[in-house]
Amino acid sequence: MKKNQTSLRPNFRTVTKALPYLIKLILKRDRLMASYQIKNHILERLRFDFPKDSMRDFFDKLPDTNEVGNKYLELDKKIAIMTYDDVFDEEILDYEKKIGGSSTFFLLSYMLKNNMENINSDLQIHFDKRYSLLEDQIKTFRNFVGKSPPLANRNHTLWWGYNQYEMMYLALNGIKIDSTLPGTKPFRLCVEGKLLPIWEVPFNVCDSKSVFSAPYNTASKMESLFSKNVSPVVGVFHPQSKTDSKWKDFYDLSKKHDYKLMTMADFYKFFLKGK
């Protein structure tokens, strides 16, 4: 396999291909589509370029299957997974010890300042495409957390392009679970009859108050997910916003509706590994 060299160099080829269509939209005065093209086919492509050669080598070595669609997890147990993005928070950990709860922290590598090897919590990576390469962020993460490559990821700001690129790139770097997309059912992506060796475990609850922010709630009320037996219910909250969010309600609703609280690492261990 070729050395995995992700690049943040501008992807000028893709940008150049998008320009003629963009010019047509501008001439037609289609502002909405022009804005979409600028954002998705120019600005984002200038910021990040996937290592497609390494990804193709990786993909070619995956086993062929008879699958014709994504593989979804059928779960008959009521599971709740609380997650926090960006930074670790001692107050949250103390609260969980008090109530017997658990959660997963997706941590920005460049926000890590202290050694966290002895922290008894599920610590995973929060990949920020705008900052540096994933392999560099994993290296920094391991220096502070002191473990093998992280098992799970959530992209910072939920920045997501095309499923096959995002998931293949994460899997190439040893990630087994991603939780960037909204939804209600975990799945493995099927591409050309091959199942990518990574599970998407979608989130469905967040501390955002607006559908126009990056994360959003799939239901109008958090309790609706619990009362309708959605499983897993996955929460996305931010420690820096805990004074204004209803993060404790997630734990209360889990208990009220007889859900088992679980970390992402445990969810993988008990329900996804080997499937």
List, for residues 229-254, the tens digit of each pLDDT value. 999 999 999 999 999 899 999 999 99
Tell me phi and psi for residue 266, to 5 degrees: -70, -35
Note the pTM of the prediction, 2 decimals.
0.84
pLDDT of res. 153: 98
Q: How many CB atoms are closer than 10 A to CB 179?
A: 28
Give the span between the Cα atoms of 269 and 74, in whole angstroms: 16
What is the residue whose two structure tokens read 């997309």? 181
pLDDT at 21: 62
What are the residue boundaries of the structural domains of the chain, listed by start? 1-49, 71-272
Q: Which residues of the chain have pLDDT under 50?
A: 1-11, 14
Write phi, then psi, for 71 (nearest 5 degrees): -95, 115
Asked whether the beta carbons of 177 and 201 are under 8 A apart, the reply is yes
DSSP-assigned letter for residue 271:
I
> Quick one: which of 54, 268, 65, 257 has its CA closest to 177?
268
CATH architecture classification, 71-272: Alpha-Beta Barrel (3.20)
Q: What is the model's pLDDT at position 2?
A: 40
**Residue 85: what are its φ and ψ, rounded to 5°?**
-105, 150
Q: 152 phi and psi, to 5 degrees?
A: -125, 155
Scanning 203-246, the segments in alpha helix (DSSP H) are 222-227
Task: Give tens-digit pLDDT for 61-82.
Answer: 999 999 999 999 999 999 999 9
Given this model, what pLDDT does residue 208 score?
85
| 26 burial type by CB count under 10 A (0-12 exposed, 13-18 middle, 19+ buried) | middle
pLDDT value of position 18: 58
